Amino acid sequence: MNSGRGVHYPAFLQTLEEIELAYKREADELGRIRDKEEDEENHKHREAVREIRENYLKNLAIIRGSYVKQKEELIQVDAQRMMKQASQQNMHTSGFGHPYNQTGYPEYSSSAGNAHYSVSNLPADSRTRYPNPMDGYPPSRPHDSYDDFCQRRNEYGKPFDRF
């Protein structure tokens, strides 16, 4: 007599103990087969989870890289904007534009509106009002002039021009 699982039974079983022993063997065999199938399925699931995790980490690295790139671009654009704003502010105060013409305060830009601040026909030379006490003194060395500086610089030659 044959069973469907490959266990062979003799033509007749003599005792109840033999039947019980055959049942236990078949149950153990079925348990091993079931455990093997579960292990294979668990292995497939582990592989799928590992693949999903690897793809997730790759995508995360790509997103982080793009985020860092965007952040660096933002910092660079912000720095350029600040430099441009500073250069425009320096242009207004360095004499390229009228230093007192402020675009943010149009009510103070016209001198007609500020009659109590405008004084007509007064000299604007501050040296007459506030003299420099060092103007009357001669230089500490009589040969301290720009020409002497140029001559000394030319004596150094090429090494001086490197810097």
What is the number of domains present in the chain? 1
Q: What is the mean pLDDT of the chain?
A: 75
Q: What is the domain range of residue 58?
A: 1-97
Distance between CA atoms of 90 and 78, rounded to whole angstroms? Answer: 18
Q: Which of 29-43, 97-111, 117-131 has the lowest mean pLDDT?
A: 97-111
Q: Which of 74-78, 89-93, 131-135 has the lowest mean pLDDT?
A: 131-135
Model confidence at 163, pLDDT cuts 50, 70, 90, reads very low
Is residue 1 one of the residues assigned to a domain? Answer: yes
DSSP state of 141: S
Model confidence at 3, pLDDT cuts 50, 70, 90, reads low
Give pLDDT tens digits for 48-57.
999 999 999 9
63/157: higher pLDDT: 63
Mean pLDDT of 118-141: 61
Provide the β-strand partners of residue 2: 8
Please enumerate, as own/partner, the contacts of 45-53 that have beta carbons within 8 Å and a separation of 24 or more.
none
Q: What are phi and psi of 2, to 5 degrees?
A: -115, 145
Give pLDDT tens digits for 131-161.
666 666 666 665 555 566 566 556 655 555 5
pLDDT at residue 102 above 60? no
Give pLDDT tens digits for 21-50.
999 999 999 999 999 999 999 999 999 999
Is residue 134 one of the residues assigned to a domain? Answer: no
Residue 77's Cβ-side half-sphere holds a number of Cα atoms within 13 Å equal to 6
